[in-house]
Amino acid sequence: MAMPAKKSVVKKPAKPKAAKPKAKSAAKAAASEPIKKLRIQDLERIRDKARSLATIRNSEGRAKVTVHMGTCGIAAGARDIMDALLDEMRKRDVNDVIVTTSGCAGFCNREPMATVEIKDQPPVKYVDLTPDKIRKILAEHVLGGQIVAKCALAVGSETLY
Amino acid sequence: MADKKQDVPTIIRKHKSLKKNLVAILLDIQAQHNYLSPESLRVVADALRMPLIDVLGVATFYRAFSLTPRGEHTCLVCMGTACHVRGGPKILEEFERRLEIEPGQTTKDGQVTLETVACLGCCAIGPVVVVDGEYHGHATIRRVGKILEKYYKPSPSDSPAS
Amino acid sequence: MKQHRTHLLVCAGTGCVSCGSFKIKEALEQEVLKRNLQDEVLVIATGCNGFCERGPILLVQPDGVFYQKLTVEDIPRLVEEHLLKGRPVKKLMYVPPAKKEPIPKMKDIEFFKHQRLIVLRNRGRIDPEKIEEYIGFDGYEAMAKALTKMTPEEIVAEITASGLRGRGGAGFPTGKKWEACRREKATPKYLICNGDEGDPGAFMDRSVLEADPHAVLEGMIIGAKAIGAAKGFIYIRNEYPLALQRMEIAIGQARAYGLLGDDILGTGFDFDLEIVQGAGAFVSGEESALMASVEGRIAMPRQRPPYPAQKGLWGKPTTINNVETWATVPNIIRRGAEWFAGLGTATSKGTKIFSLVGKINNTGLVEVPMGISLKDIVYGIGGGIPNGREFKAVQIGGPSGGCIPRKLLDLPVDYESLTEAGAMMGSGGMIVMDDKTCMVDVAKYFMNFLRDESCGKCVSCREGTQRMWEILKDITEGKGKESDLDLLEELAQTCKDASMCGLGQTAANPVLSTLRHFRHEYEAHITDKRCPAGVCKALIRYLVIAEKCTGCLSCKNACPTQAIKGTRADIHSIDQSKCIKCGACLEACHFDAIETRRDEAIQII
C-alpha cells in the first residue's frame, strides 16, 4: 500500500492529555456548526479538521494498522480490538493513520492479531492482543515509533490479498 | 410537479418580471403546464412588455418548448453520436413502430410523447432512453417493449401489432 | 469531523445513477447499520468516477478496492466479507476484457492507471454536495491566495504563463482572453461559465459540474478578481438536471460561507453568481449566441468583432470560458504556472479530459496529459475494441470535428495535430468506431444534427447543411451519383467560407474528413450500391447463416413483422418481403447466425 512521504514521519504523540473531552466536543461541533462567513484562517481550520478525509480517501497515511478479522480473529475478540483502536485514535485526535481489516493470518491460536506498518519500515505483527495492548501499541509504536517488543510476534509482511 | 401548479402570472412574478428571465419563465411554464399555450405566451408578452412575436420566437427556437400539449409521459431517445454508433436509431425506430408516432408527436390517447435529444451526456451506457426523467441505459430493441410497458398501457383498440 | 476507518464511495454521476447507484447506497447504509459498523464505516455519494461503463461503481478506501456492476443483492455479502472480515470479494471486481483474473485495486486498472487527474482530481473522492470536503482537499486555497496575495495583473500573468488554452473547442489562450477583458475600462464587467455542452458524445463538463462544482466556482471567483467582474453567470443546459441541482447546492453553500457575495473571506472583494438554465439549442454553445441566451433572447450568434471582451453581455466587457477551463484555473493558481506548463506539449499545456465512447471496451471519462498518442488512449486506457472487431476510426471534436483513421493512430493528441488531421480538439468527445460503423452514415448523422441545429441566420449554413444532408441521404440509400462527391466538396467549402459563426464554419468537417480518409466507402455506396459496413438499410438485407443457425426460435420470437419462418430445431429463414430491417433478429440471436449481407446483387428495397 502506498504511503507517500509526509514530512514528519515520527510526529509527537498528538496533543496529549486534555484531548479527551475536547476531541469529542470538537467532533460534535463540526456536525452542527452554525454556518458563518468564513475568514482566511477558517479555511485552514476546516482543512485541518478534514485531514482524515485525505488519509482515507487518498490511501495516504503515515502508518497502517491491519486488524485480522478472520472467523478465528473475531471469535478471539478482534472486534474489541478494533473498537479500542478506533476509540483511542479518536481520543488522541489521530487523523493520518489508516485502519483496515484482513482475513485470517494463519496463526489462529495467537489471535487477536494486528499488523502495524509504518512508512519505510518493515511491518510488525502483534499477537494475543487485548484492548489495552492495542492502545499501548498505538501510542508507542504507531505514534511514537517504538516497537512494543513484548507483544510483537515477528517482523514480516501482510497484505490484503 | 402537477400537484402544485402555479399560474402563469405567479411564475412571471417569481422571475421578477424581467426580460432577461424570459427563457427561465417559459421553462417554468413548460415544466408546470406541460406546454406553452397561446394564452400563456400572450400573458408573458404583456407582463414583460415585449412584442408577442419575440416571445414566440424564443418559444419556437429552443427545443425544450412545446406549443402543443405534451403527453402524460415523455419518452426521450438519445440520438447522440455514441448512442448512434451503438444502434440508437434502431431503438428509436422500435419506439416509432410501437407507438405509431414520429419524434415530436404524441400518441392519439395523449399518453406518450416521443422525443429525441442530441445527447444526454451518459454516452457510456448508450443507447439511452429516458422516460419521465428515469434513465434506461444499454437499451436494446427487445427492451423497448418492456420499458414502454412500465409507463404505457395502450387501449386495445389502438394497440399496435406486436 | 467524525473519523471512520473505511469510506465507501458510491459513484453518483448520471451514468451510475441511471444504473441504480442510489439504491446501492441505500443498501450499503442499511447493511452497515445492521452489522453495527456505522461508527467505523461511512457511506458517501460522490460525483462521476469516470468508468461509467461499469456502473454502479463502489470504491472502498483506504483499501483502494474497486467494485463494479453492483446489484443490491451483492451488498450483504460485500459488507460482511470485505468490511467485517477483511476479505475483498473477487466476484464483484473488474476483470479486464479477455482476462480471467480480477484486478482488485483501482490504481492497477488500465483505465485509471494512465490517467493524470488534475481537473478531475476530486472525482469519486469527495461528496460534491459538501463544501467542507472540497475545502478538505485544498479547495478554495487558490482563491484565498488570489484574493489576498495577488494583483489582477499577477493572476492574468500566471494564467498566461501556464499556457492554458480554452477547453471548449477553439483553444484560444485563456490568459490573452482575460487580459483583453481586464484592460477594458467599461463597467460593469461580466463573467460567464459556458456549461452548454452540446457536442453529442462529450460529457466532461457534466461530470465536472456534478463531481466538483466548487472547483468551477473557485475558478470563476479567481477570474472575477483578474478581470474586475462583480457578477457572473453559469449557463447549464437543461439536459443535465443533476448538474444543475449540484451547482445550485454548491452556490448556496458558498454564499452561506461567505465565499460568494459581498466581502469574500473578509478581503473586501465582492462577486456573485447566478445559474442560467439552457433550453435546448446546440448553437447556444457558441459564445455570442450563449450571451444572447443569457439575456433571454434567441440564441443566435452575431458577428465578431467586437469580441465579448469588449462588448459582451448587455454590451459590457465579458469573459466567457467553458466549465473545464474554469475548473483548471484553481489548480494553476495553487500549484503555479510552471508546474502546469511542465505538462503536455510545446503548444498544448496541461491535461485534457476526453470522453471515450462508442465501440470501445472501457468507455468513460479520461483525463490525460496533452500529447499522449491516440493509440495509448484507445488501446491503453480504452482496452481496445469489443468483440474482437477491428478499429476503423475515432471521431473527435463533435459535429465540428472529424474522423481520424487507423493509419493516424500514433497521432499525438494536441490542438495543432488534431486540426492538421482534419479533426479538432473541440470539447474532447472521442467516439470510437469499428468496422461495423459506416462512415457515410456517420457523416449523414452529423449533417442531420447540424441542419437541425443551424440557427438559420446564414444562408450558407442553413441551406448548405440541408443540401449536404440530402446528398448524403441519397448516397446511403443507393441513389448517389458520381458527381455527388464534387458537389459535396464544393458545398462544404462554401459553408466554411461564408458562414459567420463556428457552427457553420466547421459544419463541413465531418463530411470533409470522412471524404479525405474514407473516400472508398463513399465510392462503394455510389458505384457498387454497397455499404461495406453493413449499416445503410437500403443497401443491406438480413439473412440467416444456415451453418450457424440452431433453430432456437429466438429471432422468430423477436421479429415484429413475422418475417422469420421456421420451427424449433429447424434452420430459420427470413422473408425479405416482410422484413423491415429493424435488426431485432440480429440482436436476439445467440449464435451469430444472422448477418447483414451487402453484396451488390441487392436491388430490392
Q: Which residue has the higher pLDDT, B120 or C295?
A: C295
**The dihedral of CA C564, C566, C568, C571: what is its sign?**
negative
Residues C452 and C500 grouped into a single domain: yes
> Which of A17-31, A32-46, A107-121, C393-407 shows the lowest per-residue confidence on average (mean pLDDT)?
A17-31
**Phi, psi dihedral angles at C207 (to 5 degrees):** -65, -45
DSSP bridge pairs for B77: B116, B129
User: Per-residue confidence at A8, pLDDT binned at 50, 70, 90?
Assistant: very low
Query: Which pLDDT score is estimated for C259?
Result: 95
Query: Is C in contact with A (3 or more beta carbon pairs below 8 Å)?
Result: yes
Chain C residues closer than 8 Å to B64 by CB: 238, 278-280
Specify the long-range contacts of residues C308-315, CB closer than 8 Å, at least 24 apart. Answer: C308/C181, C309/C177, C309/C180, C309/C181, C309/C184, C310/C180, C310/C184, C312/C190, C312/C192, C313/C190, C313/C192, C313/C233, C314/C190
Across the interface, do C85 and A69 touch by the CB < 8 Å criterion? Answer: yes
Contact call for C276 and B23, based on CB within 8 A: yes
User: Quick one: three-class SS letters along chain B?
Assistant: CHHHCCCHHHHHHHCCCCHHHHHHHHHHHHHHHCCCCHHHHHHHHHHHCCCHHHHHHHHHHCCCCCCCCCCCEEEEEECCHHHHHCCHHHHHHHHHHHHCCCCCCECCCCCEEEEEECCCCCHHHCCCEEECCEEECCCCHHHHHHHHHHHCCCCHHHCCCC
Among candidates C200, C202, C281 on the partner chain, residue whose Cβ is nearest the Cβ of B63: C281
Residue A34 — very low, low, confident or very high, per pLDDT cuts 50/70/90? low
Instruction: Determine whether C268 is exposed, middle or buried from the number of CB atoms within 10 Å of its CB (0-12, 13-18, 19+).
Output: exposed
Q: Which of residues 276 through 305 in chain C touch B, CB cutoff 8 A?
A: 276-282, 293-300
Q: What is the ipTM of this complex?
A: 0.89
Distance of CA B102 to the CA centre of its chain: 13
Identify the domain boundary among C340, C371, C403. C340
C206–B121 CB contact, under 8 Å: yes
pLDDT, one tens digit per residue, over A123-138 is 898 989 999 999 999 9
Hey, are the CB atoms on A71 and C85 less than 8 Å from each other?
Answer: yes
C509/C555 same-domain check: no
User: Is C460 among the domain residues?
Assistant: yes
Q: Which residues of C touch A160 (CB under 8 A)?
A: 63, 65, 86, 88, 104
CB atoms C14 and B86 under 8 Å? no
Size of interface A-C (CB pairs under 8 A): 127
Determine the residue of chain C that is closest to B121 in CA distance. Answer: C203
Inter-chain contact A56–C266, Cβ cutoff 8 Å? no
Helix (H) or strand (E) holding C61, with range, is strand C58-61
DSSP state of C173: B
Inside any domain, residue C532? no
**Is residue C491 over pLDDT 90?**
yes
Residue C531 lies in a domain: no
pLDDT category, B3, cuts 50, 70, 90?
low
C527-561: per-residue pLDDT in tens?
A: 999 999 989 999 998 999 999 999 999 999 999 89
Using CA atoms, how far apart are residues C599 and C528, in angstroms rounded to an integer?
Answer: 9
Taking the CA of residue C245 as centre, how many other CA atoms within 13 Å lie in the half-sphere pointing to its CB? 9
Q: Which of A115-129, C258-272, C315-329 has the lowest mean pLDDT?
A: A115-129
Are the beta carbons of C583 and B128 separated by less than 8 Å? Answer: no
Q: Do C87 and A50 touch (CB under 8 A)?
A: no
Model confidence at C14, pLDDT cuts 50, 70, 90, reads confident
Interface of C with B in 524-553 (CB under 8 A): none
Any domain includes C43: yes
Q: Is C533 a domain residue?
A: no
Contacts with C240 from chain B: Cβ below 8 Å = 121
Is the minimum CB–CB distance between C556 and chain B shorter than 8 Å? no
pLDDT tens digits, residue range C442-463? 999 999 999 999 999 999 999 9
Asked whether residue C501 falls in the same domain as residue C591, the answer is no
Residue C584 lies in a domain: yes
pLDDT of residue A21: 41
Domains contained in chain C, number: 5
* Gap between the Cα atoms of A46 and C172, Å rounded: 37
Task: Tell whether C239 is within 8 A of chain B (Cβ).
Answer: yes
Contacts of C245 in chain B (CB under 8 A): none
* DSSP character string of C417-471: HHHHTT---TT-EEEEEETTS-HHHHHHHHHHHHHHH--S-SHHHHHHHHHHHHH
Q: Is B20 on the interface with C (CB under 8 A)?
A: yes
C276 and C372 in a single domain? The answer is no
> Does B103 contact chain C (CB < 8 Å)?
no
Predicted confidence (pLDDT) per residue in C134-167, tens digit: 999 999 999 999 999 999 999 999 999 999 999 9
Answer yes or no: do C171 and C209 share one domain.
yes
What lies within 8 Å, CB to CB, of B9 at 6+ separation is B43, B47
Q: Which subunits have 3 or more CB–CB pairs within 8 Å of chain A?
A: C
Contact A68, A102 (CB under 8 A): yes
Q: What pLDDT is attached to residue A70?
A: 77
pLDDT digits (tens, 9 = 90+) for A78-113: 889 999 999 999 888 888 889 988 877 677 778 888
pLDDT for C393 equals 95
Structural domain including C104 reads: 6-113
Note the pLDDT of residue A27.
41
- pLDDT of A13 over the 70 cut: no
Helix (H, G, I), strand (E, B) or coil at C149: helix
Judge whether residue B35 has pLDDT over 90.
yes
Candidate from A118-132, B24-38, C455-469, C497-511 with smallest mean pLDDT: A118-132
Q: What is the pLDDT of residue A57?
A: 86
Band of the pLDDT at C198, cuts 50, 70, 90? confident
- pLDDT attached to residue A20: 38
Nearest CA in chain B to C363: B124
Q: Cβ(C238)–Cβ(C275) under 8 Å?
A: no
Looking up residue C38, the CATH number of its domain turns out to be 3.40.30.10
Q: Are A38 and C257 a contacting pair at CB < 8 A?
A: yes
Q: How confident is the model at residue A36 (pLDDT cuts 50, 70, 90)?
A: confident
Count of other CB atoms within 10 angstroms of residue C378: 22
Cβ <8 Å between B123 and C357: yes
Measure in Å the smallest separation between the Cα of C380 and chain A Cα atoms: 23
Could you tell me the fold of the domain covering A59-155?
Glutaredoxin (3.40.30)
CATH number of the domain bearing residue C571? 3.30.70.20
pLDDT of residue A61: 83
**Taking the mean position of all CA atoms in its chain, how far away is CA B25?**
17
Q: Does one domain contain both C166 and C289?
A: yes
Domain with residue C381: its CATH number is 3.10.20.600
User: Which residues in chain B have Cβ-Cβ distances shorter than 8 Å to C442?
Assistant: 81, 84-85
pLDDT at C518 over 70: yes
The Cα C429–Cα C356 span in angstroms is 7
- Higher local confidence (pLDDT), B5 or C514: C514
Closest-CA residue to B24 (of C195, C216, C297): C297
Q: Residue C18: its pLDDT value, please?
A: 86
Residues on chain B touching C286 (C-beta within 8 angstroms): none
How far is the alpha carbon of B135 from chain C, nearest alpha carbon, in Å?
Answer: 5
Q: Is the domain of C232 the same as that of C138? A: yes
Percent of chain A with pLDDT over 90: 19
* Burial (Cβ within 10 Å: 0-12, 13-18, ≥19) of residue C447: buried
Q: Is the pLDDT of residue C281 over 60?
A: yes
Which site among C203, C391, C436 would you substitute to test the B interface, given the most B Cβ atoms closer than 10 Å to its Cβ? C203
Same domain, yes or no: C148 and C295? yes
C515 is a domain residue: yes
Q: Do C294 and B161 touch (CB under 8 A)?
A: no
| Mean pLDDT of all residues in C46-58 | 90
User: Which three cell numbers, joined as nine digits, stand for B53?
Assistant: 412575436
Considering only C82-86, C205-209, C381-385, which range has the smallest mean pLDDT?
A: C82-86
pLDDT of C54 above 50: yes
> Which of A59, A71, A99 has its CB closest to that of C64?
A59
Phi, psi of B13 (to 5 degrees): -65, -35
Tell if the CB–CB gap between A46 and C136 is shorter than 8 Å: yes
Q: Is pLDDT above 50 for C23?
A: yes
Inter-chain touch C201–B81, beta carbons under 8 Å: yes
Domains, chain B, with CATH or none = 2-61 (no CATH), 73-158 (3.40.30.10)
Q: Which of B15, B26, B28, B119 to mutate to test the interface with C (most CBs of C within 10 A)?
A: B119
- C-chain residue closest to A53, CA distance: C136
For chain A, give the percent of residues with pLDDT over 70.
73
- A32 contacts chain C (CB < 8 A): no
- Based on the fold, state whether residues C38 and C178 are members of the same structural domain: no
Chains B and C touch (3+ CB pairs under 8 A): yes
Closest partner CB to B142 (pick from C15, C200, C584): C584
Q: Is residue C412 located within the same domain as residue C517? A: no
Q: For chain C, what is the mean pLDDT?
A: 93
For residues C373 and C284, state if they share a domain. Answer: no
What is the spatial distance between Cα B89 and Cα C582, in angstroms, rounded to a whole number?
Answer: 10
